[in-house]
Amino acid sequence: MNALTGTGTLVRLALRRDRVLLPVWIAVFVLMAVTSASATKGLFPTAESVVQAASVMNGTPALVAVYGRIYDPTSLGALAMLKALGTGAVIVGILSIVLVVRHTRAEEDAGRLELVGSGVVGRWAPLTAALAVVVGADVVLGVLTAVAVAAAGLPVAGSVAFGLAWMSVGVAFACIAAVAVQVVRTARAAIGLSMALLGVVFLLRAAGDTADVAGPRWLSWLSPLGWGQQFRPYAGDRWWVLAITLAFAVVVAAVAYLLVSRRDHGAGVFPERLGPATAAPSLRGPLSLAWRLHRGVLLGWTIGFVTYGLMVGSVADSIGSMMGSAESQEMLLKLGGRDVLTDAVFAAMFGLLAVIASAYGVLTSMRLHTEETAGRANPVLAAAVTRARWAMSHVWVALAGTALLLVSAGLAAGVVHAVQTGDGGQVGRVLVGALVQVPAAWVLTGVVVTLFGVSPRLAAAGWAVLVAFLLLGELGPLLELDQWLMDFSPFAHVPRMPGGTVTAAPLVWLVVVAVALTAAGLTALRRRDVA
């Protein structure tokens, strides 16, 4: 028996487990790429309109920070696929991370890998199988996307570069996750570590792409997300970037294999520390338990949100001056000066942050499902704790955490912006822009609680609902969907702040919806069997 024995069996097992998940995800990505490709064509009929739009994009640091740079302002493809390339690559990375962890450390946590490991399975087989499945999925994703986008009418060479870009970002993060699952001891920590790295390389790329010619543009080259951009689809099609990403993947994967050989099953690279023999007096109820379980993750998210807020706050002001031409300056003045544009940047950025904060709410309230299926809800519910109190302990953390994230990002952005403009009043204005997003983000937590109340298996559909809302917001206007359809998304009802006027009604309604969904979930939970 060698170290790879049994890999084939494990690959088949993984493919069987993911037989729905993988095709659905791949289909969603291909759809996203095709929609971007075909929808944008109609919006820019003339060559001039393309150039104009591209220079606005490149001239707006906040957009460059989020999506990346357009390397050929005359290329319709580069313009059409900019958002898909930037945002899509991040999601491909996240998906690859989750999949690798799901088939390695999560199995180890659940004790199933031990069962498998005691069979005829080599030491390297589980990792190899997970990488084979995920890398395979990334390759299929890349190929299908390239074909579909080319079929939608964009140049073939650029489409292939685009597919390669997505694929190589996915492969890079699959390998990063492969190392993370060896280093830390739980699936949750492995996902956290990989996501944190993703956040760091995103910031590196954002910093590099927004730097001016004399600045540290090379920062983008330290980031797998940056390499994705450097394929420059439809704007030079630089195939050779593939060599960099492949070299990176091979080196990182080699580290993962080295670590597998060094550590014990179920352990991480670092030895386990001992802890207190008795519980602190504060650890006494379901809420304090939930806080204890979530606080580390919440701290990580808060750091991310503060960082993002600082970044948004520091670039927002530079936008007015970036609008180079005399005419556009004049037009801006008529519209109310550069403040209008700055406010619009804040509103757009907080809109994006609200979706991410609602993802935190989904993740945190989904913990109810994990706790129940792992059998850890059992001992709590067998004690003098009602189901509603147990469920609410996690829901409170989800709701308060969502609000905390948005407030900390709003404060960070507001303070930086106030310092730059020398106007202390900006702190409050910018903070309000983040605050108005809170009720919409809460609705997602309510959705998860409702689903979970009906059946624990349904809770995961909370992600699908979030993605649906996101797609409605991103693609709805492109597809010219009816307003009533787009109004299903809670994010469609958030007043645009700062700069707009706060209307209380939609905010109150969103809170009412979130509360009603939560209450419905708790009622359903009270009626069903608990596993």
Partner 1 sequence: MTAAIALSGLRKSFGRTSALDGLDLTVRAGEVHGLLGPNGAGKTTTLRILLGLLRADSGTATVLGGDPWRDIATLHRRLAYVPGDVTLWPNLTGGEVIDLLGRLRGGINTTRKAKLIERFEFDPTKKGRAYSSGNRQKVALISALASDVELLLLDEPTAGLDPLMQAVFEDCVAEIRAEGRTVLLSSHVLAEVEKVCDRVSIIRHGKLVETGSLTELRHLTRTSVEADLVSPPDGVVTLPGVHEAHVSGTHLRCQVDTDQLDPVLRALTGLGVRGLMCRPPTLEELFLRHYEVNR
Q: What residues contact residue 517 under an 8 Å CB cut-off, 6+ apart?
A: 443, 446, 447, 449, 450
Residue 289 in contact with partner 1, rule: CB under 8 A: yes
Q: How far is the CB of 527 from partner 1 (least distance, A)?
A: 8
The pair of structure tokens assigned to 348 is: 């757009």
Q: Is 292 in the site for partner 1 (CB under 8 A)?
A: yes
Is 482 or 529 the residue whose CB approaches partner 1 more closely?
A: 529
Binding to partner 1 by residue 277, rule CB under 8 A? Answer: yes
Using rule CB under 8 A, residue 367 touches partner 1: no
Comparison of 115 and 374: residue with beta carbon closer to partner 1: 374
Task: Give the closest residue to 83 by CA, choosing from 64, 96, 109.
Answer: 64
How deeply is 36 buried, as exposed, middle or buried, from its count of CB atoms within 10 A (0-12, 13-18, 19+)? Answer: buried
Cβ atoms of 453 and 530 within 8 Å: the answer is no
- Is 378 a binding residue for partner 1 by CB under 8 A? The answer is yes
Stretch that binds partner 1, among 320-328, 382-390, 412-420, 493-501 (CB under 8 A): 382-390
Is residue 247 a contact residue for partner 1 (CB under 8 A)? Answer: no
Minimum distance, C-beta of residue 370 to partner 1, in the bound complex (Å): 11
Nearer to partner 1, 215 or 285 (CB): 285
Helix (H, G, I), strand (E, B) or coil at 451: helix
Residue closer to partner 1 (CB basis): 46 or 278? 278
The reply on whether position 272 binds partner 1 by CB under 8 A is yes
CA atoms within 13 A on the CB side of 420: 18
Alpha helices in 263-337 (DSSP H): 286-316, 318-322, 326-335
Residue number, 288 or 421, with CB nearest to partner 1: 288
Tokens (6 digits) for 66: 């989020």
Question: Which ranges in 44-88 belong to alpha helices (H)?
Answer: 47-59, 61-67, 76-80, 82-83
Q: Could you tell me the smallest distance in angstroms from the CB atom of residue 288 to partner 1?
A: 8
Residue 266 in the binding site for partner 1 (CB under 8 A): yes
Q: ∠111-361-455 over CA atoms, to 5°?
A: 60
Which of 293, 356, 362, 517 touches partner 1 (CB under 8 A)?
293
The residue among 149, 143, 144 whose CA lies nearest residue 34 is 149
Q: Is 156 in the site for partner 1 (CB under 8 A)?
A: no
The one among 125, 206, 381, 391 contacting partner 1 by CB under 8 A: 381
The DSSP 8-state label assigned to residue 270 in this structure reads: S
Among 374, 481, 502, 512, binds partner 1 (CB under 8 A): 374
Catalogue the E-assigned strands of 65-126: none
CA distance 124 to 515: 48
Q: Which of 70, 154, 341, 380 binds partner 1 (CB under 8 A)?
A: 380
H or E element at residue 505: helix 504-527
Decide if residue 42 touches partner 1 (CB under 8 A). no
Instruction: Tell me if 491 sits within 8 A of 480, measured CB to CB.
Output: no
Task: Kindly tell me which of 238 and 263 has the beta carbon lying closer to partner 1.
Answer: 263
Give the one residue of 2, 46, 118, 278 binding partner 1; rule: CB under 8 A: 278
Rounded to whole angstroms, the Cα distance separating 234 from 72 reads 8
- Give how far Cα 423 sits from Cα of 160, 295, 311, 414, Å: 49, 34, 18, 10
Among 327, 375, 484, 504, binds partner 1 (CB under 8 A): 375
Smallest distance from partner 1 to CB 530, Å: 5
Q: Which of 9, 52, 186, 455 binds partner 1 (CB under 8 A)?
A: 186
- x/- site string to partner 1, residues 326 to 365, per CB under 8 A? ----------------------------------------
Contact with partner 1 (CB under 8 A) among 275, 422, 482, 505: 275
List residues near partner 1 by CB under 8 A. Answer: 109, 185-186, 266, 272-279, 283-286, 289, 292-293, 296, 374-376, 378-387, 527-530
